[in-house]
């Protein structure tokens, strides 16, 4: 069966604008066009789009997805098996969260005694696993496994107050960056300095030995690796670069 852009959009839930963008990137080219010039997608394109969406769900950037799908040795069945393994892992993560919610409800009803640490253990474990899934490979390649595993252990050992502070700092940072760009702020200015200090404070919770040089290295990684950049650029493009520049100016040149 063949689909127009509209038809494939309705089938997959992907917007027509995104499908046209995929075509422009040569990530998903139509099989052909109608006499009127409308794009047409066949069975192979439908299967390729499914793979694209699977990989997007895993957090891979479009450039990397194209390389994977265009590789001569790409095996769709093997890829699906890999997707299934990841989804089963996520299922276990969700089940962990469900158990935490269930125990919290029982605690609220007076049917179960629950320590404060237990209320956040499931959430912290999910955060560790999510971060490791998205960034673990790159971080270990950059800094070796030691610092990464140490940061994970620190996160799991945070008290309720420390964990909330870590989350709040991250939230404030991701709110401040797009606001700074929209306001036309410069990374060299006071707001850039504030956000650089905020980033340092956030890092210090998991990396107590983080110094200026390490912070600059980490901020640079946000820009050179698309997966890191996407975390800060989700709302407005340029946030990761603004943070990197602010950190280099205000933390990289301190004596």
| Residues 63, 107 within the same domain | no
- Give the separation between CA 15 and CA 18, rounded to whole angstroms: 5
Do 66 and 12 sit in the same domain of this protein? yes
Let me know whether 191 and 241 are in one domain: yes
116 Cβ neighbours under 8 A, 6+ residues apart = 160
Q: Tell me how far apart the alpha carbons of residues 159 and 153 are, in angstroms, rounded to a whole number.
A: 12
60, 106: one domain: no
- What is the residue-level pLDDT of the chain in tens, covering all 255 positions? 899 999 999 999 999 999 999 999 999 999 999 889 999 999 999 999 999 998 888 777 788 889 899 999 988 888 888 888 878 877 877 787 787 778 778 877 887 776 666 666 666 666 656 655 555 555 545 544 444 555 556 666 667 778 788 889 989 998 999 999 999 999 999 999 999 999 999 989 888 888 898 899 889 888 887 767 777 887 788 899 999 999 999 986 554
Residue 151: CB atoms within 10 A of its CB come to 19
117 and 133 assigned to the same domain: yes
Other beta carbons less than 10 A from residue 171's beta carbon? 11
Same domain, 172 and 233: yes
Of the residues 70, 94, 125, which one is the last residue of a structural domain?
A: 70
Task: Look up the domain containing 87 and give its range.
Answer: 75-155
* 92-114 b/e (C-beta count within 10 Å ≥ 16 → b): ebeeeeeebeebeeeeeeeeeee
pTM recorded for the entire structure: 0.47
Domain count, the chain: 3
Q: Kindly report the CATH number assigned to the domain that includes residue 183.
A: 1.10.490.50
Please tell me whether residues 175 and 148 are part of one structural domain.
no
């Amino acid at each position: 069966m063949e689909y127009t852009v509209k038809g494939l959009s309705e089938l997959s839930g992907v917007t027509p604008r995104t499908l046209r963008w995929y075509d422009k990137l040569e990530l998903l080219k139509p099989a052909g066009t109608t006499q009127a010039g409308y794009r047409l997608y066949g069975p192979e394109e439908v299967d390729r789009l499914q793979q694209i969406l699977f990989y997007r769900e895993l957090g891979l950037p479009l450039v990397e997805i194209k390389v994977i799908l265009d590789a001569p040795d790409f095996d769709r069945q093997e890829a699906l098996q890999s997707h299934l393994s990841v989804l089963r892992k996520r299922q276990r993560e969700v089940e962990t969260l469900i158990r935490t919610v269930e125990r919290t409800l029982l605690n609220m009803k007076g049917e179960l005694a629950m320590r404060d640490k237990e209320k956040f253990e499931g959430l912290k474990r999910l955060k560790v696993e999510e971060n490791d899934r998205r960034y673990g490979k790159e971080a270990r390649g950059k800094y070796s496994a030691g610092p990464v595993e140490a940061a994970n252990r620190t996160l799991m050992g945070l008290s309720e107050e420390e964990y909330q502070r870590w989350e709040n700092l991250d939230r404030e940072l991701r709110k401040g960056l797009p606001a700074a760009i929209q306001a036309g702020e410069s990374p060299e200015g006071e707001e850039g300095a504030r956000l650089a200090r905020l980033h340092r404070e956030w890092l210090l919770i998991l990396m107590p030995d983080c110094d200026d040089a390490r912070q600059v290295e980490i901020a640079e990684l946000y820009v050179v690796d698309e997966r890191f950049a996407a975390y800060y650029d989700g709302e407005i493009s340029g946030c990761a670069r603004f943070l990197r520049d602010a950190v280099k100016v205000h933390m990289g040149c301190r004596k």
